[in-house]
Amino acid sequence: MSKIKTLHAVLALGLWASVFPGLLGLGPQALAIIIYPQAYSTTSVPEVITPVSLYSNVRMKSVAALYRLNQEHVVKAAEQFPPDSFRLLTTAESSVGGVGFWMNPAQFGNPDRYLGVFAKVVVPGNTPFRNDQPGRVAAVMDRYGKPALEALAKELSMIPDPGIKGGALIFVFSREPLSSPSFFDNAEAMVLYIPKPDLITFSQYRLTLQALFNQSDLFMFEGADQMQTLTRLFIQL
């Protein structure tokens, strides 16, 4: 379909939806985005963003499509990290990709979602932290966590939807290279679900990292079997 035909189709669809505003509970722009997402996508990053088609209800399809640009901004922010030590998961590596709106497993059945980052990272060396699980978590958060959380907070501050309750940070970490076939076999992972107000307060340097952890839901994983559970089953749409 040509760009002109696509634009005409989007405009026509928007007019149709405005005549029937109750249709599926969607506004004209959101409905147009779902059917013609290419008209709204600004970068070529579909392999790491949760596809709209995978969301489990129509409202979330609308939300994910409407805030596609915010998700792309998170992907762009991740590019600040060296590619040999930080990489967002693709939709081939996890059931939800590397950026999207996901449920909090601690709130089973709750329809609320969190804007999330799902990445594999290399534990940095030459840090003051001990070589145990708490120390490795501290090293990973010190190197990658703070910038990632700030990126999430920035985008969340521009998402007024009341059903988006906060940010999710998921790091699978190991001392092995990202390209190693055994990376996941020897990895650990942390999953952090953070309320939106606390995340924004943290990004404004008015809340410590420890206080942020205390206000959040934290899950830890270790070993090949648990990595499989995390990447395929634990995170839900």
pLDDT digits 0-9 by tens, 36-81: 454 344 444 448 999 999 998 899 999 999 999 999 999 999 999 9
Look at residue 6 in the predicted model and tell me its pLDDT.
38
Do 124 and 85 form a contact (C-beta atoms < 8 A)?
A: yes
pLDDT digits 0-9 by tens, 144-185: 999 999 999 999 999 999 999 999 999 999 999 999 999 999
Q: What is the residue-averaged pLDDT of the chain?
A: 85
Residue 14 has pLDDT above 60, yes or no: no
Tokens standing for residue 147: 């910038």
For the entire predicted model, the pTM comes to 0.81
Residues 8-26 have a mean pLDDT of 42
Question: Which of 7-16, 23-32, 150-159 has the highest mean predicted lDDT (pLDDT)?
Answer: 150-159
Residues 214-219 have a mean pLDDT of 95
Look at residue 30 in the predicted model and tell me its pLDDT.
52
